[in-house]
Amino acid sequence: MTLHFNVGEAKAKLSQLIAAVRRGEDVVIDHDGKPQVRLVLVEEAGAAERERLIAKRRAFIGKYAKDFEGLDVTPEWIREQREYSEERRKLYGDDLR
């Protein structure tokens, strides 16, 4: 069930709205009767952002998907590669960019 509150109510009941989200309820804040904001747990927002980034990278690969089949495009892998490159530059002074 989705709970809808206008901005004024949300300000007055913020702690109650946070508790509702923690219980798993869907909370939406409306402005002029139109939904504007959905409250979500930080973990859920982080997971959604991670999935959005993965989808964006896969879409970028697009027509080259066959050439890059099996390539890991997760944020963790990309971060690991970046850290490896930075460490290599520190050790050997080469620039792989």
With contact defined as beta carbons under 8 Å apart, do 39 and 27 qualify?
Answer: yes
Class of domain 2-39: alpha beta
Flag whether the pTM goes above 0.85.
no
Closest among 90, 72, 94, 93 to 81, alpha carbons compared = 72
List the 34-39 sheet strands across, edge first. 2-6, 26-31, 34-39
Kindly report, residue by residue over 34-76, the tens digit of the pLDDT: 999 999 888 888 888 888 888 888 788 776 777 777 777 777 8
Closest among 24, 28, 32, 23 to 10, alpha carbons compared = 28
Q: Which two tokens stand for residue 6?
A: 């206008």
